[in-house]
Chain A
Amino acid sequence: QVQLVQSGAEVKKPGASVKVSCKASGYTFTSYGISWVRQAPGQGLEWMGWISAYNGNTNYAQKLQGRVTMTTDTSTSTAYMELRSLRSDDTAVYYCARDMRGAATPDYWGQGTLVTVSS
């Protein structure tokens, strides 16, 4: 069965960086893209970007361009999302999700990783 298992909760100070991992299993990792979506406390879903696990191509949300980097390690079927220059409004649950074949929208989701930015 398809599973996406994310790394644990993080607490960071403003200005620091965080790197969240997402280990995939149950499918051919390089055949699907991975999206990253975040959700601030009590707020809606925000699409952050996408990476092709096949060739590493990326698309990022305009508001995060320059602060976010998405990568994959095909040897371990793991995707990573790094966010730099953290601010308090980056406090959120961060989700990775596998995109569907034939429809660029996620079908399987990780459990989420809470990132708290606080001084």
Chain B
Amino acid sequence: EIVMTQSPATLSVSPGERATLSCRASQSVSSNLAWYQQKPGQAPRLLIYGASTRATGIPARFSGSGSGTEFTLTISSLQSEDFAVYYCQQYNNWRRTFGQGTKVEIK
């Protein structure tokens, strides 16, 4: 099983600042990596797939980068609605796995 490790567990950021979230895979997943946002009581929302392609309707302040084993999600200027938990998921292996999540909270 491919293990996905996200860091940090919690990120405290002020509105308007940049947030950088990391995701590391235990073996290469090529570019088969997605990022999801989840708010309390809601289903996850797809932000990024293919490591760097924004999903439909996702604002340009969200960007993804990386390939192989190291990936980054950047939120260029945090808005109030961006405070949430973010998960990465690999789908290179048919047994897909999620990271444990990064909570982005208001500083």
Residues of A with Cβ closer than 8 Å to B? Answer: 35, 37, 44-47, 50, 59, 61-62, 95, 97, 100, 103-107, 109-112
Smallest CB separation, A46 vs chain B (Å): 7
Question: Which of A35, A45, A103, A110 contacts B87 (CB under 8 A)?
Answer: A45
Complex: how many Å from CA A104 to CA B44?
Answer: 16
Binds A, one of B10-18, B71-79, B89-97: B89-97
Q: Which residue of B lies closest to A6 (CB)?
A: B43
CB-defined interface of B63-107 with A at 8 Å, one 1/0 digit per residue? 000000000000000000000000101010011111111000000
Chain A: CB-nearest residue to B49: A103
A61 to B101: give the CA distance in the assembly, Å. 19
Interface SS, B side: loop
Query: What is the bound-complex CA distance between A43 and B44, given in angstroms?
Result: 13
Q: Is the CB of A62 within 8 A of B95?
A: yes
> Shortest beta-carbon distance, B7 to chain A, in Å?
14
Flag if A103 contacts B34 (CB, 8 Å): yes
Q: How far is the CA of A59 from the CA of B99 in the complex (A)?
A: 19
Residues B100 and A44 in contact, CB atoms below 8 Å apart: yes
How far is B47's CA from A109's CA once the two chains are assembled, in angstroms? 13
Across the interface, B46 reaches (CB within 8 A) one of A47, A104, A107, namely A107
How many angstroms from the CA of A62 to the CA of B94 in the assembled complex? 11
Q: Sort A-B residue pairs by CB-CB distance and give the 7 closest, nearest first.
A: A109-B43, A105-B34, A104-B91, A45-B98, A47-B96, A105-B91, A44-B101
B55 contact set on A, CB distance < 8 A: 107
Nearest CB to that of A109 among chain B residues?
B43
Q: Which single member of A44, A61, A110, A112 contacts B95 (CB below 8 Å)?
A: A61
Select one of B1, B44, B91 contacting A103, CB under 8 A.
B91
Known: A62-B1, A104-B96, A111-B43. A44 touches B87 (CB 8 A): yes
In the assembly, what is the distance between CA of A78 and CA of B101, in Å?
Answer: 30
Residue of A45, A59, A95, A110 ringed by the most chain B CB atoms within 10 A: A45
Chain B nearest CB, measured from A85 CB (Å): 21
Chain B residues with CB under 8 A of A62:
1, 95
With A62-B1, A104-B32, A110-B43 as given contacts, are A46 and B98 in contact (CB-CB < 8 Å)?
A: yes
